[in-house]
Amino acid sequence: MVTIGIGVEAEYLLLDSLTGLPTAERPCVRAVAAALRGWPTSALPGLTDEAEVGPEQLKAQIEISTPVCDAVDEVGSELCRLQGAVHAAARVVGYEVAATGAAPARGVAVTPVGR
């Protein structure tokens, strides 16, 4: 029998909680997520590895990466844990996380989202 490993990466957009606009605060959110590492609770899911939350193309984006899993159910559990950790970290510093490929249109504000 052949065993196939499954891993998933997902990208999220960081939004300012007050304006709803993208924010280039990935380094801050990533640092908080890393600081939560090893502190799993029902309210604040922890990371098991700092590499699970990483940079994406723009500073307004953040990426999660599951470990290689043996079953689809395991992938689902890992995604929930990592999504929870990123959402918790973002909220600690006043941001929200959106699973979207593009920023919501809102006025003519320009957001610094450089690398």
pLDDT average, residue stretch 51-78: 84
Q: What is the pLDDT of residue 113?
A: 54
Residue 17 vs residues 37, 74, 97: alpha-carbon distances, Å = 23, 31, 9
pLDDT average, residue stretch 73-100: 88
Q: Per the domain annotation, does 104 fall within a domain?
A: no
Q: Per the domain annotation, does 56 fall within a domain?
A: yes
User: From the CA atom positions of the chain, what is the Rg in Å?
Assistant: 15
Question: Model-level pTM?
Answer: 0.75
Q: Per the domain annotation, does 107 fall within a domain?
A: no
pLDDT average, residue stretch 13-23: 87
Band (pLDDT 50/70/90 cuts) for residue 34 is confident
Q: Per the domain annotation, does 36 fall within a domain?
A: yes
How many domains does the chain fold into?
1
The whole domain housing 62 covers 23-98
Q: State how far the Cα of 103 lies from the Cα of 115, in Å rounded to an integer.
A: 16
Q: Per the domain annotation, does 12 fall within a domain?
A: no
